[in-house]
Amino acid sequence: VYRQCEQSKLLNNILVATDDQRIQEEVHFFRGNCIMTSPNHISGTDRVAEACLPFENDDIIINIQGDEPTINPKQIDQLIEKLKEPNVKIGTLARSLQSDEDIRDPNLVKVVKDDQDRALYFSRSVIPYNRNESQVPYFGHVGMYGFMNATLQEITQLPPGQLEISESLEQLRWLEHGYSIHIIETVYDNIGVDTPEDLEKVKLLLKSIEH
């Protein structure tokens, strides 16, 4: 993931936030930057917020999760460009879903958006429900977020809501409290590591790239 970040044209600082000494040692081994954070955080967003406390309010923060090893550097730059637009405080990525397997997979979070490309809802269920079996677009969420730092610090102080608890999706907390999440459509496919099967897929992919 760190190497993919290094290929971004727009990132000017890469920082690994962790509470695990083993991860810190690994990052230092390849001469990366790492900061130790509290072990009490319940989400990665909370951990990133702590790591970014020294930064300016108008700094753009990109939260790239460690379980997204196939993230494309161009996706990172897409997100940064979006955050440079006026009044965009939170952004994330989504990709078009074509296969029925993906659409019905509860580990692949779906998102529906309005005509201004702002998220209406995220769910592990199939959304939208296709009552008339017409051709409707489905979008899968790509687990990378961008924030203005001031907004990042705000949202981590919000209490969890019922939707977040029900779906186990922290971004629903932000929607419940009235924050807009801007969706950037990406054409790049990613394999997030959420299950042992995902891990095997990524290992095979990385092996094929190496050879």
Report whether pLDDT(207) > 80: no
Q: Tell me what pLDDT residue 188 has.
A: 84
Residue 166, SS3 per DSSP: helix
Q: Tell me what pLDDT residue 169 has.
A: 96
Report whether pLDDT(201) > 80: no
The pLDDT tens digits for 158-186 are: 999 999 999 999 999 999 999 999 999 99
Average pLDDT, the chain: 91
Higher pLDDT, 96 or 204: 96
- Domain extents in the chain: 57-210
Q: What is the DSSP letter of 115?
A: T
The pLDDT tens digits for 91-146 are: 999 999 999 999 999 999 999 999 999 999 999 999 999 888 778 999 999 989 99
The pLDDT tens digits for 62-91 are: 999 887 788 899 999 999 999 999 999 999
pTM: 0.88
Residue 110, SS3 per DSSP: strand
Question: How far is the CA of 169 from the CAs of 64, 90, 106, 155, 161, in angstroms?
Answer: 16, 15, 12, 14, 10
Residue 23, SS3 per DSSP: helix
Q: Does domain 57-210 have CATH number 3.90.550.10?
A: yes
Residue with tokens 């997979």: 105
Higher pLDDT, 6 or 143: 6
Q: What does the pLDDT average to over 50-63?
A: 96
Q: Tell me what pLDDT residue 189 has.
A: 74
Report whether pLDDT(204) > 80: no
Q: How far apart are CA 26 and CA 83, in angstroms?
A: 31
Query: Which residues have a Cβ under 8 Å from the Cβ of 84 and sit 6 or more positions away?
Result: 60
